[in-house]
Amino acid sequence: MKRHKITAVPAVAAAAVLSACATAPTRNEQLEHARATVQTLAQDPYAERAASEQLRSAQDSLQSADAALSRHASPADVNHLAFLAERQAQTGLARADEARAREQVAQGETERNRILLQARTQEAQSAKVQAEQAQAAAQSAQQQLKDLQAQQTNRGMVLTLGDVLFDTGQATLKPGANLELDRIGQFLQKNPQTHVIIEGHTDSRGSAEYNEELSQRRAQAVAASLAERGIPADRIQAVGRGKDFPVASNDTPSGRQQNRRVARVFWVAGGHFAAATTPGASLR
């Protein structure tokens, strides 16, 4: 009798093990793959704002697939529910990626606009500083010319000297002209944007051809002297006016002396000399 009881215990245990094995759900690979995809979507920071509907549907389908597997539904039913969960999760991931890309583009555009605005602001500030510096330089140049006793005209600042720079009928500068030319040269060196026209004028005595040629040689002599003082040739223009533009009557000695003159016309310019350089023209 005791032997029959000993052999009955293993039989009961074996039956319990077989029952447990029969009720344990079988692992489904497609379901596990879907679970991983749904988890990836759930962890994406853009899921709630861009794919909340797809995330909820995927989670519901995954839950239904787990329930089907637990109640030993057919593999086809479990696989179908797992397929739905994965597809819904993949759609959600695509929407999250799209939202992320749009935000990155927007951030890039914002940064680009910020950089452009900063560059334009810097350009405007630089232009303002340059304009202020140019204005200050122009005002300084004007004051320096006034100190040289130049007069403001519609052609610019004009500094007029009599014929004391030359001997009568000659175009060779006298030694005493150096002091005046040094002052002019120093001014032009300090103001590199300033250009100058050297104009030679004569009185009415002598032929027009003679006076024009003499006035031209005198103007060129002054221009050459400034060039020797380091002033670039492209900032200087020599013009002989002859006797055509008197500033006083040629009927008196004093008037003729006023007409025998060398005038310097100064103005600020960034390029070549103006085409119109006659004394009545406006130089800009």
Residue 78: the pLDDT is 94
Whether 240 is in a domain gets the answer yes
Task: Say whether both 181 and 240 belong to one domain.
Answer: yes
Task: Say whether both 210 and 248 belong to one domain.
Answer: yes
- How far is residue 211's CA from residue 54's CA, in Å, rounded to a whole number? 100
Whether 97 is in a domain gets the answer yes
- How far is residue 140's CA from residue 133's CA, in Å, rounded to a whole number? 10
Task: Say whether both 259 and 166 belong to one domain.
Answer: yes
From the first residue on, what is the mean pLDDT of each consecutive set of 10 residues in the chain (284 residues)? 46 44 69 96 94 95 94 93 95 95 93 91 90 80 78 81 74 85 91 91 90 92 93 93 91 86 70 46 32
Task: Say whether both 186 and 114 belong to one domain.
Answer: no
Instruction: Identify whether the C-beta of residue 238 lies closer than 8 Å to the C-beta of residue 218.
Output: no
Residue 154: the pLDDT is 80
Count Cβ atoms below 10 Å from residue 158 Cβ, excluding itself.
Answer: 19
- How far is residue 278's CA from residue 275's CA, in Å, rounded to a whole number? 9
Domain tally, the chain: 2
- The β-bridge partners of 261 are 201
pTM for this one? 0.52
Residue 150: the pLDDT is 79
Q: Which among 266, 184, 169, 281 has a CA at the least distance from the CA of 225? A: 184
Q: Read off the tokens for 150.
A: 């130049």
Q: Is 161 helix (H, G, I), strand (E, B) or coil?
A: strand
Count Cβ atoms below 10 Å from residue 162 Cβ, excluding itself.
Answer: 12
- Sorted by sequence, the CB contacts under 8 Å of residue 40 that are 6+ apart come out as 89, 93
